[in-house]
Amino acid sequence: MESSVLPAADIGALLSSKFICVKVDADNPGPAEKVLGQVKGNTLPFYAYVTPDGKFISGTSGFRSAKTFLADLEGVMKNDLLRVPPDLEKKLAKMADQAAKDAEAKKTAAVLKAFRDAEAIRGFSDSKDKIKELYAQAVLDGQQKIKEAADLSKEGKFEEAGALLSALAKDCKGTEVERAAAAGTKAVDRLKSAAKETEGSAKVPANRRLYEQIVKECKDAPPFVELAEARLKE
Amino acid sequence: MMHAWISLLLLAAPAQAEKKEAKWLTKYQEALQLAQKEGKPLVVDGSRAG
């Protein structure tokens, strides 16, 4: 299993994102004995699935093909012991519906808040997964706006770029995107200053310093770093 | 610069861009503590050492 099943991309992704994995010596399992001892069968390897608070869920004995192991993992994730309780699932379903409407209406801050609230609820849930997907899309949209702001700056439309980034930072407060928007805002200020110096020529020493500052200090907003690097090459 | 962009991409697409390799711990109690902290279930692999 170690060489053919566990390295499979889909299995690795599921294990790393949804489970904590531990490998023990079956002949000397130590404290894992209490869960491995509940696995039926005598053929190695044993796989025991355990709740975060240590309760045995299920187990298997013997080699599992990639397809079977994946089905085992997915089955464990559907176990009631690991699911969000029904009352909270109802709440999450409502949150997911609202988040979908907010995403449609481009209310990014509301989507991000729904994601944070959903993540605070422990357990597997389809509604949580749905909210996570909406969040991922909102962040991707944020990245696109940073790119748009860099393009506006390239055309000398600094006011528009600044307004776009300012709104983005407000919408994405408390996320990586807010940091990227802040870095972008700093870059816009530098580009604006550079534009005032001899029509923004990269040959002016003061401008070179400003572009170098962008490269050094605005790494969270890569489109701006690319723009500054291009100017430095001019 | 690449690092920042990759971080953002990972953040942006947690469902699609999760780590592809699982980290296997070797101490059950430590793994259980981590499972409690992160609210995730444990997979315990019992194989023969070596």
**What pLDDT, on the 0 to 100 scale, is given for residue B3?**
52
Reported as a single tens digit per residue, the pLDDT across A93-113 is 999 999 999 999 888 888 988
Contact: B8, A19; criterion CB under 8 Å: no
More confident residue, B3 or A135: A135
Q: Mean per-residue pLDDT for A134-154?
A: 93
CA–CA separation, B46 vs A145, rounded Å? 49
Q: Which two tokens stand for residue B14?
A: 């947690």
CB atoms within 10 A of CB A130: 19
A140/B45 Cβ within 8 A: no
Q: Which of B3, B11, B46 sits opposite A32 (nearest CB)?
A: B46
User: Cβ B44–A35 below 8 Å, yes or no?
Assistant: yes
User: Does pLDDT of A10 surpass 70?
Assistant: yes
Check B26 against A36: CB less than 8 A apart.
no
Please tell me the distance from the alpha carbon of residue A92 to that of residue A18, in angstroms, as a whole number. Answer: 19
Asked if the Cβ–Cβ distance from A136 to B36 is below 8 Å, we say no
Distance CA B13, CA B8 (A): 9
CA distance A195 to A72: 60
Q: Which of A16, A18, A176 sits opposite B8 (nearest CB)?
A: A176
Q: What confidence score (pLDDT) does residue B49 get?
A: 74
Angle, in degrees to the nearest 10, between helices A222-233 and A176-196: 30
Query: Mean pLDDT over residues A126-155, rounded?
Result: 94
Inter-chain CB proximity B41 and A24 less than 8 Å: no
pLDDT in tens, A39-97: 999 999 999 999 999 999 999 999 999 999 999 999 999 999 999 999 999 999 999 99
Rounded CA separation B39/A122 (Å)? 6
Distance from CA of A90 to the nearest CA of B (A): 20
* Greatest CA separation for chain B: 44
Say whether the ipTM exceeds 0.85. no
For residue B4, the model assigns a pLDDT of 53
The mean per-residue pLDDT over the stretch A27-34 comes to: 94
Contacts of residue A26 in chain B, CB cutoff 8 Å? 46-48
Please classify residue A40 by burial: count the beta carbons closer than 10 Å to its beta carbon, then call 0-12 exposed, 13-18 middle and 19+ buried. Answer: exposed
Mutation for testing the B interface, residue in A10, A17, A22, A111 having most B CBs under 10 Å:
A22
Structure tokens at B43: 């997979």
Sort out which chain A residues have CB atoms less than 8 A from B16's CB and list them: 136
Query: Where are the domains positioned within chain A?
Result: 9-77, 86-233
